[in-house]
Amino acid sequence: MSWKKDLKIKRLRSRSILPRVLGICFVDALVIAFVLFFCYLIFLGQITNYLFSSHKDSLEIVQSVNTSWQNNTAGLNKEIADAKKRNTNIQDIYIIDDDLQILNSFGSEPISFETVFMDEDVQEDLAEQGMVRGELDVDEIALSFFNLKGKIKSVINLNKIVSEKQVIDSLSEEILFPTQWVLYKTAINNVNVCIKNCYPITAYSYNVVLVICICFIGAVIITAIYELRKIGLYIIEQKKINKLVSTDTVTGGNNKEYFIQKAAKIIKWQRKCAIIQLRLEKYRNFCSAYGVKSGENLLEDLYGKLADSVTRKELVAHLEKADFALLLLYKNSAELNDRINAIIRELTTVRKLQHLLFSAGVCDVASKTDDINDLLTAAGLAISKSSDSSGNIVWFNEAMKEEQIWERRIEDDMENALLNHEFQVYLQPKYSTKSEKLSAAEALVRWIHPKLGFVNPGKFIPIFEQNGFIIQLDDYMLTEVSKLQAKWLSEGKQLVPISVNVSRAHFTCDDLAEHICRIVDRYRVPHQYIELELTESAFFDDKDVLLTTVKQLKSFGFKVSMDDFGAGYSSLNSLKELPLDIIKLDAEFFRSVDDLPRSNLIVGDTISLAKKLGMQIVAEGIETREQVDFLAQQKCDLIQGFYFSKPLPVSEFEQRAYTK
């Protein structure tokens, strides 16, 4: 999986609802703040009405004192009584001098301002305001607030007059205290008016406050219910996303992502466990025979069986195609092998009328910190080493990993190696049995790696055959040999036929003969000096294409030989079908022969048969003089092997072939 896809899946899986909850809380906080602010405005509006009304009437009382204090006491009493009737908030009115002595009282309770202002708490408040008892400046007016016990809560010095705004701002500081004392300076010297205002909570005000509180609580409850519902929907949505991310679309069970996440947690607290990759062999063949839908139904049934075969502490998931992953607990390898075999036997019963084959790769969990992806890769690598027989179990080992790393490195370097000419041509001479002279050669590839040095062909040729790069290597070798032949021809040297291998993968090309002809003709090399070797295994592919290609090559003047004759099981059949020019007896005919007379009889008859078919015989792998003498006696044409020469670099071959 790419890192981008992995990141997307992680984001979907771990998408937190905390940001959404915080967002909801923020919105709710704004709603609540708005409602509280609205309630505050309503409440403040009520208080403002009280203040405006009381302040207006208080100013009228001060005006009445200014006009009626000295001459009209009765009128003053009447006006004050009328003001108290108009505004029930005005409770007590006192006329006092600058020394806070009461000159006249229009209240229900007598009070001594001297006693009030002698209170220690009040003295501290006055001191903070820069006022001392008995030093009240006649040019200043003191606006004072009292609590319910009668003590001054705060004192504000005002110049000349008391404005409405100052009264409101002052009262807002003590909004929870319903009693207010206000001291006004009159136009008369040494005469001041002290008015006590009381703002009781009326039934109307109570109802307004109650309605506001009910609306506020209702709004909070409704908002909370709505937002809790949204949070619940978010949680359900996240669970659905996690389920979709973890669900396999074919089997409906756990997928690879779920297996990786869950297995990583399980291996942290389980002592002995293993990752098993189980494969249904020939699944594509099953789908071709019964249809893709039937194949998917089969995988679903197999997953159901596997899910029933594991415990709650174990795990099963469908990976891809016909591969399943299991995490199983075990005590020893023998016990685990028995259990896997039992699971495979159970799976074969899913389709009783159809033969199902399974293979398993096992990778032991060595550490609690092992990466599950790596373990699955290792199990898959082990399963690739198994055969197609049912119940074949292969345990992963480090040699497999090293082989995989080697294959990866070979495939990473092969393109550059071709461009940089790291593949070099070596030539192994072929000697005539009659004259024992160099009469032909075989071109063999050698890889001289800049870091690894000499790389054995047996380590990279099979890899190239699997990944298809062998076709490019064949073309490269044919080109290099053609260059050599052209060079020697231009130097006036006598050419000898050089054989070049053509892999079976090349025969998938319809125009192979024309393609080979174009490469050779580019260097103007006579075709009789290029011999094309094909392996016997090519005969088991498309015989018609092979036969057509061989005939075309022969018509172009190329010689065609079969390499490793006798290594397969249909050699005689291939001789009958293919019009070959040369056959090369496999080296195994001459190595470690227990029954030499029997082996010599087979070799002699094979040579005799080939001669009757008009073919030349080349024996490869010859290492002793006795073998040379025997082959000469049997009229074998050419001998190739270490007895005469090992494969040589081009420079050494030139010395041997063209130095007198």
Each residue of 252-274: pLDDT tens digit?
Answer: 888 888 888 888 888 888 778 99
| Rounded mean pLDDT, 18-46 | 73
pLDDT at site 73: 72
More confident position, 70 or 303: 303
Share of the chain above pLDDT 70, in %: 79
Q: How confident is the model at residue 218 (pLDDT cuts 50, 70, 90)?
A: confident
CB 356 within 8 A of CB 369: no
User: 10 Å Cβ neighbour count for 172?
Assistant: 12
Arch. (CATH architecture) of 256-396: 2-Layer Sandwich (3.30)
pLDDT at site 253: 86
Q: How confident is the model at residue 591 (pLDDT cuts 50, 70, 90)?
A: confident
The single residue listed with the structure tokens 């009765």 is 74
Whether 6 has a pLDDT exceeding 60, the answer reads no
The per-type count for the chain, helices as H runs and strands as E runs, is 21, 21
Q: How confident is the model at residue 172 (pLDDT cuts 50, 70, 90)?
A: very low
Report the alpha-carbon distance of residue 449 to residue 447 in Å, rounded: 6
CB 349 within 8 A of CB 391: no
- Lowest mean pLDDT: which of 5-19, 183-197, 291-305? 5-19
Q: How confident is the model at residue 236 (pLDDT cuts 50, 70, 90)?
A: confident
More confident position, 112 or 86: 86
User: Residues with Cβ < 8 Å from 167, sequence gap 6 or more?
Assistant: 51, 55, 143, 182
- Lowest mean pLDDT: which of 247-251, 510-514, 595-599? 595-599
Q: How confident is the model at residue 194 (pLDDT cuts 50, 70, 90)?
A: confident
Whether 594 has a pLDDT exceeding 90, the answer reads no
Q: Which tokens belong to 569?
A: 């099981």
The DSSP code for 187 is: S
State the fold for domain 429-440+471-658: TIM Barrel (3.20.20)
- Lowest mean pLDDT: which of 23-32, 117-126, 154-163, 468-477? 154-163
| Rounded mean pLDDT, 594-621 | 85
Share of the chain above pLDDT 90, in %: 27
More confident position, 49 or 491: 491
pLDDT at site 381: 85
What's the chain's average pLDDT?
79
One-letter identity of residue 502: V
| Rounded mean pLDDT, 446-464 | 91
Delimit the domains of the chain by residue range.
23-205, 256-396, 429-440+471-658
pLDDT at site 559: 94
pLDDT at site 169: 43
Inter-residue long-range contacts of 428-432, CB under 8 Å, 24+ positions, other chains counted = 428/640, 428/645, 428/646, 428/647, 428/648, 429/640, 429/644, 429/645, 429/648, 429/653, 429/656, 429/657, 430/618, 430/638, 430/639, 430/640, 431/638, 431/639, 431/640, 431/644, 431/645, 432/637, 432/638, 432/639
